[in-house]
Amino acid sequence: MGCFAVWAGESTPELSVFELVRSDDGLAVNFAARFDLPPSVEDALLKGVPLHFVAEAALFRERWYWRDQPVGRVSRTWRLAYQPLTRSYRVSFGGLSQNFDSAAEAVSVVRRMAGWRLAEPGQLEAGGKYYVEFSYKLDTTLLPRPMQIGIGGQPEWLLQLEKVQRLPAH
C-alpha cells in the first residue's frame, strides 16, 4: 500500500525493513528504521532529557459491508536517556534496561524490532483479507512540559514513519 516519512533532520528517515511474518504462532512484525538524530535532539539528550520512541501496529480485517474490523493492536515504547555520571546511554522498555557506551549503539536498539507478535493464530480467518497499519515516531508529548512548548514548530523534532501493508493470502 504506502509508506510515509517525516523528519527534518539531515537524512530522510525510512523503514529499511518491514515484514509481516505469518507462522503457526500467529502474525509477527519485523521492522528496522533508518535515521540519525539531529544535533539539537542529541544535544537535549546529552543534557539529560530522555527521548521516547513509540512503535504501533494495528491489524484490520477488510469488510465490504461495514467498517474494517480491528483484529489486533500492539504498542511499544522505548526510553532513551543519557546517564552523565557513568557517561553511558540507557535504553528501557517495559521493565528491561540496557546500557550502552555510545549514542549510536543505543539508537540502533530503538530503531528495530523482530518477532513482535501482532495476532494469535486463531485470530486470522482463512481466506480473510487483512492489512496492517504501522507507525513509528519520536513522541514529543512525553518530553518535559517546558520543552514541549519550546520545541513547538521546530521541524528537527518531528520523526514519524508510517506504513500500510496488506497481509498476503495464506
In 3-state terms, what secondary structure has residue 162?
Answer: strand
Closest CA to 5 of 107, 137, 153: 137
CB atoms near residue 122 (< 10 Å):
7
Residues 6+ apart with CB under 8 A from 67: none
Grid coordinates standing for 47?
543534557
pLDDT along the chain (170 residues), means of 10: 50 90 92 94 94 97 90 96 96 94 96 94 88 96 84 84 89
The secondary structure element, H or E, covering residue 106 is helix 103-110
- Was domain 2-79+112-166 assigned CATH 2.40.160? no
127: left (phi over 0), alpha (psi -120 to 50) or beta: left
Query: What is residue 10's predicted lDDT score, i.e. its pLDDT?
Result: 55
For residue 103, count other CB atoms closer than 10 A to its CB: 15
pLDDT at position 153 is 74
| C-alpha–C-alpha distance, residues 128 and 146, integer Å | 48
Q: Can you give the residue ranges of every domain in the chain? A: 2-79+112-166
Cα(87)–Cα(124) distance, integer angstroms: 47
